[in-house]
A and B are shown apart, each in its own frame.
Chain A
């Protein structure tokens, strides 16, 4: 009985990859554990292993093919003695026979390449295949409401991942005081490939692989910053920064004040924050509200690649400790980024991403994806939503939000974090004071649910906010 080998998903967020190399050719006998092929994603190169014994009957996707969607049949394995020519794509049992191993296997607490079985692997042969979403979402350039670069600037389509890397590389070229440290930032090229190529360009002195000791290396980074160096400390995820939060809060954020202004701490703590996909409660926490609570810190949570680049450069130059909250789902998304020698954005300025007159939707980071899709859908129903991307959570640009609400009279906030004491709660409180007379409805919050993040696909989906909830909230504040 012939079986299809499907393109495996190797990480929670992988949607497609490149079939870079076949290590077996048609007609070769294969046994369980044989490496059949190498596939490459934007994060890493991995090997596809056979699970069944048989003969590699047919190769369906030639090597070198890019953009192969997860779950696409890439080859057929026939049983010993089976008529190979009879085997055809789709003719076999559609089950993901391939398992894949990241190479080299990251033996870490959790990793960007955390293996995620192909969607139907665990649920059996008759499980419906998850439709493969378009791998790289290219976001249309929003009509820039505020000019942040000269008109006519050439725009280059760039992923958030590349934008972050470019920002660090540019700042490292600019000053020898800037260095990056963290787990797997150097030789591994970054657990999420954000630091790809930096070791090659800047060497091991400035791209420092640390042991898995968040508390210790965060303290070392802060100590180095006290002397005037400008460390970029990468946390593999902000969940692990919980081990280091004492140094972030007690050592980095408070020392300037405690020293009467003598000892600044020019450091950037960056890494993915919040939920990725199916990684459970301990790897899905959104810390936006936590850090935004602390005087002495600046907190940035960008959505677009352009903001990621311009704000990370600003963060590295800033003389204060900056928390730079990224999002794993956004890493692979592409946006237009202005092609400028030195593109730096101001910290603390929100951006009106979409203009509208009926309601203000305020969000940041990945929350913007829900907000923008909802705004699009609402427009079709005649509700024009103004969508504000906060970009910086501390200092928070209340003015832009208040000005918008004065116009619309209604506000909905969108975030993936928990509801209590969240960013939405803060905005709501500020609007109560600064725009009370302009509000025609209570501010509504769309947030992550008040539960630890569940693992099961359906429960996780329920725990996160979604477009329908944003639409519903907008309609509620519009009394529609």
Chain B
């Protein structure tokens, strides 16, 4: 079965579950449906500028991480978010301070979107003392209490129960916060995801499950792994509404996110958003990329790049001078270069760190 055929199959089922209010949530999936929808919700100039900057930061950061990995400065596993930037940025544009974010191991983009310092993230990738986990977590394990980012989890699907637990705590405290719990199309087949769906709906927990369907779980296409390739339907037996969303268009993402978050925050329980997206790079840095064609990847890059779409809008619709965008590009590059500089010069953790942070001291 060739990859293009898989993609076609995955995309052929465009029916939506529970998308009663899905006027703006475009069914995507196939490359064709990623074309900017004529009736897509519009962004103001400022919103588009914000989205452009945020997505570009992730893109450039990840490119740099890829470079540093190639230079041997980043070890172990390194999963890049390139291509999927519109998902997390659109979600963040719809969330408010206090809402929690938790995801799997493809997590650098989520950290930056949460406002975590690129220096701290990059230094964690290089295993240095200035990293968010002081060099003890690595690419897959970073956290920020301050930014309400709860990881960074390496066991596929585990973050779904944990994220449901964050929502449980929100409901317990009645604090009005919502847990944004991300998973990939691969994690969506794990058993605990459905245990979590059941309890989240049973207890009406304020959680939005964001399934980032980038079409491949490592090298296995959705069609080869999933009996039901429409992930928005995965909550049907629990009565959880779901939508398929064009995850390459930050505007449709934000619109669907607003609806989903409102649903969760208002006490109606969980909501599922299937974000139809695409990763340009391999599963990890050691991906042989034998499972899809180069054409498939380049077609996505050329025709549906989430950042290019915004850039085009900024110039053509909002009349932003190219020079301004170039200035943004330069500023982002500088930020990223500074982070790389920091991450390559910051010392490794003190050997004594081996024995710290295993247990907390009990207070008397």
Contact = CB atoms under 8 A, between A and B. Distances in A.
B132 interface: yes
Contact of B168 (A224, A261, A264, A347): A224
A317 interface: yes
Given A216-B192, A219-B164, A221-B165, A261 B363 contact: no
A263 B145 contact: yes
A91 interface: no
Interface string B154-187: 1100101111111111101100000000000000
B90 interface: no
B172 A220 contact: no
Nearest to A348: B362
Contact of B202 (A211, A221, A224, A227): A211
Contacts of B358: 256-257, 295-296
Interface string A239-264: 00000001100110001111111111
B61 interface: no
A229 interface: yes
B360 interface: yes
A205 B168 CA distance: 10
Contacts of A224: 165-166, 168-169, 172
Interface string A260-286: 111110000000000000000000000
A269 B308 CA distance: 50
B276 interface: no
Contact of B134 (A226, A250, A260): A260
Given A223-B150, A223-B168, A258 B195 contact: no
Given A213-B198, A217-B195, A263-B145, A318 B362 contact: yes
Contacts of A24: none
Contact of A261 (B134, B153, B196): B134
A320 B160 CA distance: 22
Contacts, number: 152
A219 B169 CA distance: 12
Secondary structure call for the B interface? mixed
Nearest to B154: A250
A21 interface: no
Given A257-B357, A258-B141, A260-B137, A220 B199 contact: yes
A179 interface: yes
Given A251-B158, A298-B359, A227 B169 contact: yes
A32 interface: no
Which of A221, A255, A295, A296 has the most chain B CB atoms closer than 10 A to its own CB? Answer: A255
A224 B202 CA distance: 17
B104 interface: no
Contacts of B198: 211, 213, 216
A397 to B, nearest CB: 15
Nearest to B133: A260
A319 interface: yes
Nearest to B194: A216
Nearest to A181: B168
Contact of A259 (B151, B161, B192): B151
A226 to B, nearest CB: 6
Nearest to A228: B169
B159 to A, nearest CB: 9
Interface residues of B, number: 49
Interface residues of A, number: 43
Contact of A320 (B168, B196, B360): B360
Nearest to A229: B169
A373 B360 CA distance: 38
A246 B161 CA distance: 11
B131 interface: yes
A222 B196 CA distance: 13
Contacts of A421: none
Nearest to B134: A260
A248 B141 CA distance: 17
Contacts of A18: none
Contacts of A319: 360-363
Contact of B357 (A218, A261, A314, A318): A261
A261 B134 CA distance: 9
Contacts of A296: 358-359
Given A246-B158, A319-B360, A223 B164 contact: yes
A267 to B, nearest CB: 10
A247 B158 CA distance: 7
Contact of A258 (B137, B163, B168): B137
Contacts of B191: 215
A138 interface: no
Nearest to A347: B362
A200 interface: no
A176 to B, nearest CB: 9
B108 to A, nearest CB: 16
A210 interface: yes
A205 B171 CA distance: 9
Given A205-B172, A211-B198, 15 more contacts: A210-B199, A211-B202, A213-B192, A216-B192, A219-B161, A229-B173, A247-B158, A247-B161, A250-B154, A257-B357, A259-B133, A260-B136, A319-B361, A320-B362, A347-B362
Which 7 A-B pairs have CB atoms at the shortest separation, nearest pair first?
A223-B165, A219-B161, A216-B195, A260-B134, A260-B133, A223-B162, A213-B195
17 contacts: A211-B195, A216-B195, A217-B199, A218-B161, A219-B161, A219-B162, A219-B164, A219-B165, A223-B167, A229-B172, A247-B158, A247-B161, A255-B151, A256-B359, A259-B142, A260-B132, A262-B144
Interface of B: 100, 102, 131-137, 141-145, 150-155, 158, 160-170, 172-173, 191-192, 195-196, 198-199, 202, 356-363
Interface of A: 179, 205, 210-211, 213, 215-229, 246-247, 250-251, 255-264, 295-296, 298, 314, 317-320, 347
